[in-house]
Structure 1
Amino acid sequence: MTTTSDDGVVDPRSATPTVGWIGTGRMGFAMARRLATAGVAVTAWNRTRSKAEPLEEVGATVVDSVAELRGHDVVFTMVSTPADLEQVLLGDGGLLADPVHVPGVVVDCSTVSTESSEAMREACTARGVDFLAAPVSGNGKVVRAGGLSLVVSGPEETFHRVAPLLAHLGKSVTYVGEGDVARLVKICHNLMLGVVTQSLAEITVLAEKGGVPRAAFLDFLNNSVMGSVFTRYKSPAFVNLDYTPTFTPVLLRKDFDLGLAAARRLDVPMPVAAATAQLVQATVSSGRVDEDFAILLDQQAAASGLELKPENVVVDDGLGAADEVS
């Protein structure tokens, strides 16, 4: 049960906090659904209401305005850009627009710059609201399979209070310190995401041009010491050329921009990341912005004079658990 003080403010240290959720895109919907199915009282808002309404099937409440979330103990945000985050928190009708009625804690799971995160943290602090930066690693299917990873920074005491909620979202939650350092961790993660995918595209094309089917090459790789959860997960897309989006080139480009800006600020040379950023830009420039960033494979093949065709082979992506709960 939540507790309320004489002035009507909900105590965020309640044993069973009420939770608000802002943003139910591919990731936000899957994450909010995990909380709701775990028995958490979730109230969700999304700019396009119809995208949030299926959450009602698992016990969540869907509302028409962000303002209706102000009285909740904890409010999660999962939006696409820094501008979106600022709008839902500080814009007209935003979560923090009323200085009197505010939530106890804001947990932002978006991938935004450290600077944007710092600005939102300051806005929260000025209104007496605790703020945790909690970006995530994964996509909707990873969330459904219970494989999401979260990295969190902010006041340690607040983290420990919210940790039981975070634990419902995935397999691991890592606290990395005060302030907004979790943003840098996530950006570093996504730089590696792009670099590894480009490298995987290069070696896969090299093997195929030498006469090796992609399915056979990736089966070997995934079962070797060089294989990983990620290379296995991306293998079906590489083998069958299924570019149903999980993460688009435009979003990856944004993260490379953020990462290379951080590298300049901290005087860290990143030649491999810089080269990959240009290849990611080329995928965006091609106009294929609504497909998965795995189209780096197509781009590499074209540069190598190789025409790819789907191999139509069933490939295990290692996330079969997601199909059981989808």
Structure 2
Amino acid sequence: MRVGWIGTGRMGYAMAARLAGPGTDLAVWNRTRAKAEPLAELGAEVVSSIAELSANEVVFTMVSSSGDLAQVLGELLGGEVAPQVVVDCSTVSPEASAVARSACAERGTAFLAAPVSGNAKVVASGGLTLVVSGPRESYEHVAPLLARIGRSVTYAGEGDVARLVKIAHNLMLGVVTQCMAEITVLAEKGGVPRHAFLDFLNDSVMGSAFTRYKSPAFVNLDYTPTFTPLLLRKDFDLGLAAARELDVPMPLAALTAQIVQASVGTGRVDEDFAILLDLQAAASGVALKPEGVTVDDGLGHG
């Protein structure tokens, strides 16, 4: 199968890398070519323009915003030929997704919304999960490719419902992280080392793959970005807009959105959103220090 890939940022690169190699004729494009070039060592072709991907059977897109998606689709669909299927893995609003679906339909191209849960480390470990919506026949056609990218793929239905699933997921991501920050600071201020509290939490019924994954950052204050406060704020904006449209009260999400905004207001927008721990500590009169303890992130490599 001839496959194109647009967008090789942190997530896009890791996902494209899982498709590269035997069994897939993969061509990739990125605005900054240098970020895509290492994929050539894995067997992918790095192209100079989006238009060069138009004849591919399937094209994946993984971009940062609704505007970026509209722009790349304009170039992808603007030539004499167009792909059979476009699979968009970006996190965009349902409205932007519907516009993209319409643009594809005008060229006879099926459009699948396929947002993901995870980050580049999760992708590399094989733990990514995807939720997909769109034509069932097109989903089944690309399912073998999706299975190579992640360990779990859920088909949610027709249209753009996968977007709402991802937005709801990221609302929970923010709420759970803020809750995790609050209880961790409470335990520390009471004299419990963070690594000890989180070790107990992760092995209890309240632990999860996410709390375990985030524990090394909380213990050692490593805020190397996997997902920034700016991106989380965007998803809260999308989620609360959907809640207003559907008349669903979301008091916890609304409060967390303000705390996320406060994290953005600190100016630390290039760090991981786990800096919510620092904000909670500052509000509690606690001075955090890295504990220097090796903590298993649950991804299979310690």
Q: Same fold (TM over 0.5)?
A: yes
Tell me, yes or no, if structure 1 residue 86 matches structure 2 residue 108. Answer: no
- The CA deviation at 1:38 is 5.6
Q: What is the CA–CA distance in structure 2 between the aligned matches of 1:42 and 1:228, rounded to whole Å?
A: 35
- Equivalence for 1:187: 167
Q: 1:38 to 1:28 in 2, by over 3 A?
A: farther
Give the counterpart letter for 1:29 in structure 2: Y
Q: What is the CA–CA distance in structure 2 between the aligned matches of 1:66 and 1:126, rounded to whole Å?
A: 18
1:229 to 209, 215, 219: 209
- Equivalence for 1:3: none
Give the counterpart letter for 2:3 in structure 1: V
- Equivalence for 2:99: 119
Give the counterpart letter for 1:237 in structure 2: A
Q: Any residues of structure 2 matched to 1:18-29 within 5 Å, and which?
A: 18-29=2-13
- Give the unaligned 5+ runs of structure 1: 1-16
Give the fraction of aligned pairs with identical amino acids, expressed as a percent.
Answer: 75
**Normalising by structure 2, what TM-score?**
0.99
Partners of 1:240 and 1:312 within 8 A in 2: yes
Q: What is the CA–CA distance in structure 1 between the aligned matches of 2:243 and 2:194, rounded to whole Å?
A: 35
Give the counterpart letter for 2:16 in structure 1: A
Q: What is the CA–CA distance in structure 2 between the aligned matches of 1:40 and 1:319, rounded to whole Å?
A: 26
2:37 to 36, 44, 53: 53
Tell me, yes or no, if structure 1 residue 160 matches structure 2 residue 140. Answer: yes
Q: Any residues of structure 2 matched to 1:65-76 within 5 Å, and which?
A: 65-76=49-60
SS in 2 for 1:320: coil
Q: 1:139 to 1:174 in 2, by over 3 A?
A: same
Listed one character per residue, the Cα deviations across residues 164-193 of structure 1 (whole Å, up to 9, x for unaligned) are 110000110000000000000000000000
Q: What is the CA–CA distance in structure 1 between the aligned matches of 2:117 and 2:84, rounded to whole Å?
A: 25
Tell me, yes or no, if structure 1 residue 129 matches structure 2 residue 109. Answer: yes
Q: What is the CA–CA distance in structure 1 between the aligned matches of 2:276 and 2:139, rounded to whole Å?
A: 37
- The CA deviation at 1:41 is 1.4
SS in 1 for 2:76: coil
Give the counterpart letter for 1:142 in structure 2: V
- The CA deviation at 1:270 is 0.1
Q: Deviation above 3 Å: which 4+ runs of structure 1?
A: none
- In the alignment of these two chains, the number of paired residues is 302
Give the counterpart letter for 1:215 in structure 2: H
Listed one character per residue, the Cα deviations across residues 186-225 of structure 1 (whole Å, up to 9, x for unaligned) are 0000000000000000000000000000000000000000
- The CA deviation at 1:320 is 2.7
**Normalising by structure 1, what TM-score?**
0.92
Q: What is the CA–CA distance in structure 2 between the aligned matches of 1:320 and 1:27, rounded to whole Å?
A: 19
Q: What is the CA–CA distance in structure 1 between the aligned matches of 2:90 and 2:211, rounded to whole Å?
A: 24
Q: What is the CA–CA distance in structure 2 between the aligned matches of 1:54 and 1:63, rounded to whole Å?
A: 13
Q: What is the CA–CA distance in structure 1 between the aligned matches of 2:162 and 2:58, rounded to whole Å?
A: 19
Q: What is the CA–CA distance in structure 2 between the aligned matches of 1:267 and 1:23, rounded to whole Å?
A: 35
Q: 1:87 to 1:188 in 2, by over 3 A?
A: same
Q: What is the CA–CA distance in structure 1 between the aligned matches of 2:26 and 2:263, rounded to whole Å?
A: 38
Give the counterpart letter for 1:243 in structure 2: Y
Tell me, yes or no, if structure 1 residue 106 matches structure 2 residue 90. Answer: no
Q: What is the CA–CA distance in structure 2 between the aligned matches of 1:39 and 1:224, rounded to whole Å?
A: 42
- Equivalence for 1:4: none
